[in-house]
Structures are given as C-alpha cells and as structure tokens.
Structure 1
Amino acid sequence: MIQLSDLLLFLTRKYLEIENGYRNEYSAQLKGIFRDFYKKVDDRLIFKKTQTETGRNSDYYNAFIETICSKPTNRWRTKVY
C-alpha cells in the first residue's frame, strides 16, 4: 500500500508541476495523461479546499499553508496544451 500512495503522490506532483509552469518541455500528450490521472484523483477528494485549523497559533499556520499550497489553475479540466 505504501508504493501505491507513493505513485499517487508522484503523479499528482508531476501534474501540479505542469500546471504551475515548471514542466513546459513535456509533450501535449504526456500533459494530457497527467491531467486525466489528476481528474480521477480530484473526483474522489472529499475536501476540495484547504482545511483550516483552529486554536493557538492557527492564524499563522493557516496563512503559511495557504502560501505554500500548490493548486491547479482555473479551468484546468478544459485547458488545451
């Protein structure tokens, strides 16, 4: 099961790298493959937004997580590469 989660994280990371402009050298077909995979993962997510914490120092923590969190761009499902 650990290897399966590693594979999911790897493919998700690659897709977010493409979406954020770090992997422009990939072909359009490969970008489409990563997007199709991410669609399957996104459909199964319970929470679509970053969950906020409450309690002491939560404002600092929530701001930090929002700053570093990688998200796909708007209209990522219909984007043409």
Structure 2
Amino acid sequence: MKKERRKFSASFKAKVAIEAIKEQQTIQELAVKYELHPTQINTWKRNFWIMRNPFLPRRKARQRMTPKRRNFIPRLGSYRYRWIS
C-alpha cells in the first residue's frame, strides 16, 4: 500500500524556517524535532529568505531540452560542431 504524502501548511514552513534562521538549534536538531529531512528545512529556509528579501537574485528557469538541442554534440578535437540527424 502506498504511503500518503505529507502536506505542510505555509505557517508551519515559516515557523521551521524562522527557527533555522535564528540558529539556536542546528538543522539536524530541527530535523529530528519536526521529523523532517535537513535538506527540506534548508529549502524552506532559502525560500523564506528569498520571499522576505526581494533584492536577492532569483534563479533563472531551466530551458527545456528541445530535440534539436538534445542532438547537438560537440566533437572533441575539432573547431566545428556536428548536428546529429
């Protein structure tokens, strides 16, 4: 049987992120306390910080790999590139 995915409210995420930003406890201690993965806490912390500080640069969206870009392979030792058709 498939385990149901946990969903967290925005207020809970903000609470955990604020505690992580305060640095009174380590990320690992917070992870054990709230039964979360440390990477998840760091992600919420980073997102909270970006949302509260609009002057921080945001990441650029990834470009989708089109079939034309996917088939473009640079040839080693050559100044020219080759398109695979």
Say yes or no: TM over 0.5.
Answer: no
Higher helix share: 1
TM range (shorter): 0.3 to 0.5
Larger RCO (CA under 8 A, 6+ residues apart): 1
Q: TM-score, normalised by structure 1?
A: 0.32
Q: Which has the larger radius of gyration?
A: 2
